[in-house]
Structure 1
Amino acid sequence: MKKIFFAGNPFGFGGPRQVNRNLLKHFDDRVAFLHHSHKILYFIEMMFKITVAKVVVFSGYSRYDKIPLLYAGILGKKIIYIMHGCAELECKLNKEVNPIALEMSKRMLDKSNLILCVSQLHMKRMSEFYKNYADKMDFLTNGINWEECNKIVCSNSEKYKNTIVLIGGGRITKRNRQVCQAVEELNDEGNDLHVYVYGGIERNSNEVNLIKQYKCVEYRQSIPHSDFIKDLQKMHIFVQNSEFESFSLGVVEALCCGCDILISQYVGAKEYIKGLDNNDIIFNPQDVDEIKNKLRLLLYNSNNMRLMNSIDKEQSSTAYAAEKLINIGTKLLITK
């Protein structure tokens, strides 16, 4: 039987599930993973594979992981938790209430033998936030599915100039409202910029309403990922102004779609983009003037090719991340 069981859910939508799907494509016969999406079969398969494995890897979590996590602990399995975000910090910053996420996050942190954050930046921040867990934290930076990214075909002639894309809707940590304010002020100077804000399940309707008040904004509800990629191919600039962003696959996807990017210093994906300079980075996501000045520069100084060419595609690949995870799990097998 395979000694490592990857228990991350690869079915459905959401960032962690997309990461899980990408990883399992590169697992070899050393790793077992889930094949059934039907709830009952999913649970039976999960419990069986936990029983026969030595190391169990949870990637993200849901309410359905409560019993499998408890079961793995009772059996004395070595548990790895791939930590994609931070429910406690995000709920606090976003002024949200999510008791299930808080409970499951706490359980994962408590029961895990090893916590792998999805970027080195994320690990440093989590080690400071959770000092009592810091000694069992490491990082496994999310891999990028370059096979899919390389299929994206973009043409500058088809792009709508002066268009800006924001994701994350009205989540306060995304600091999208500050970007909209900066664009509004640029338009007051005589520009004609248009902002497309993509949202999902909105728990902070007040922030969404404030964003919608800007004349430059078109607010779009969550759409299928494939449709979003098509939209990105037509857009000019992608801005990720988050004050907390463990990774952000969207930044890399935007580059692959030919967009210029402007990102905050808190975006974990910047570890892969070696060519970033100070004009590509927002150091204070709440400083409207900084955002405005850097957007003004970006309008006339494309950074897409420079940044794309600075990424090491081998060491940033999902294959590389999958092999690193297998090596980590194998090493954990022999530790006491």
Structure 2
Amino acid sequence: MKVLYIGDFIKGNGPSTVDINIRDSIQNSNQVNQVEFLQSTTKLSFIVLKKIFNVDAVHVSGVSFLGMLFMIFSRLCGKKAFMTMHGSLAIESRFRKISLYRRIFEFVQQKCANKIMPVSKLLAEKAKINKKVVVIPNGFNYMDNLSISKNNNLITLIGGGRKEKRHLDICEVIQKINDEHSLNIKVNLFGENGIDSNKINSFSFVKDFGFCDKNIVFESLSESKFFIQYSDFESFSLAVADAINYQCYIITSNLVGINDFISKSNSYMVVDNKLQLEKAILLQYNNKEREMIDNDLLTWEQVTNKYMKCWEEV
């Protein structure tokens, strides 16, 4: 089967990380001639549209006008159409303004798809996608021999001041812990400004790096004892996988998709309110011997094989 994979191959965060890793896995396999890759922001032309006649199926990663158009044409031409769901624009619209046209693109793609591949069961449930679903998680690049030097008082947060990340709640809990227990816990914050940024930066223990090079984030994770992902909703969270590599104690909310693939322990705790968050931070702060975090995360090669198996079976 010949597949046209439409995605984001410009190095960055989120979906592009997924698409680049899948592309690299396929190009390193014996199936390299079976998949053609097309950047989702490619300018539409007749030459580009002609690609539909040279493939048996179209796979679209995320939501894009080009992806929607190719999925429509693939079904009109009697070919198969697939879609990776990294998240849900319907869910995101609860936290920030999403253009109507992008919501329409997502709706049309979901209707055209023979199979939809959400990155977690949580995403499928929250997006109410209960038909045509094959859950395929993001991959995990395990790295060893990393330079790690832990500071018992340091926490890394990723996601900036976006309200859905609930970093303001975390900072309020840390302020309470520092005051009541005479501790000196500090926070390194990474990511874009948002509704909560000003309030978060009013805390003296917060150092806001904003957007910066990924290596600076990794340096912070290598020094941090804790990584916290207390999001109101997180379809997967590649940042949690990075924190595992850097041997952080990890706390997540119960609305983080990657939780399905990781065993709970004193080193990996799942909470659903601020009181539980406070107790988890204190427990981990006083825990001197981190347990290994057991997980069922897949390598990118395994993830790629799941995609290819799904393409062949439909």
**1:223-272: CA deviations, max 9, x gaps?**
12233222221222100001211110110111111211111122111223
Q: What SS does the corresponding residue of 1:19 show, helix, strand or coil?
A: helix
1:283 is the counterpart of 2:268: no
> Quick check: 1:177 aligned with 2:163?
no
Q: Distance in 2 between matches of 1:43 and 1:163?
A: 51
Q: CA deviation at 1:100?
A: 4.3
Q: How does 1:134-153 map to 2 (within 5 A)?
A: 134-146=130-142, 149-150=143-144, 153=146
Please say if residues 55 and 77 of structure 1, whose CA atoms lie closer than 8 Å, have aligned partners that are also in contact: yes
Residues 1:154 and 2:147 are matched in the alignment = yes
Secondary structure of residue in 2 paired with 1:138: coil
- 2:230 equivalent to 1:241: yes
Q: After superposing the two structures, state which structure 1 stretch, 259-268 or 223-232, moved more.
A: 223-232
CA shift for structure 1 position 160: 2.7
Structure richer in helix, relative to its length: 1
> TM-score, normalised to structure 1's length?
0.83
Matches within 5 A, 1:1-336: 2-27=1-26, 28-29=31-32, 31-34=34-37, 39-40=42-43, 47-92=49-94, 94-126=95-127, 130=128, 133-146=129-142, 149-150=143-144, 153-155=146-148, 158-189=149-180, 190-200=182-192, 202=193, 205-274=194-263, 276-277=264-265, 280-284=268-272, 287-301=273-287, 304-307=290-293, 310-312=294-296, 316-332=298-314
Taking only aligned residues, the RMSD between alpha carbons, in angstroms, comes to 2.5
Verify the 8 A CA contact 1:22 1:145 in the aligned structure 2. no
Contact 1:32/1:49, CA 8 A, preserved across alignment: no
Displacement of 1:50 in angstroms is 2.9
Amino acid at match of 1:170: G
Q: Determine the C-alpha separation between the residues in 2 that align with 1:245 and 1:90.
A: 10
Q: Tell me, what secondary structure is at the counterpart of 2:223?
A: coil
Identity of aligned residues (%): 23
Structure 1 segments unaligned to the other structure (5+ residues)? none
Deviations, residues 136-163 of structure 1 (Å, cap 9, x unaligned):
12211111123xx34x6133xx333311
Aligned length: 309
- Specify every segment of 5 or more residues in structure 2 that has no aligned partner in the other structure, as ranges: none
Output the CA distance in 2 between the equivalents of 1:56 and 1:303: 48
Structure 1 residues 260-306: Cα deviation after superposition (integer angstroms, max 9, x where no partner): 111112211122322x137843432xx32221111011112157542
Which residue identity lines up with residue 18 of structure 2 in the other structure? V
Matches of 1:109 and 1:206, distance apart in 2: 31
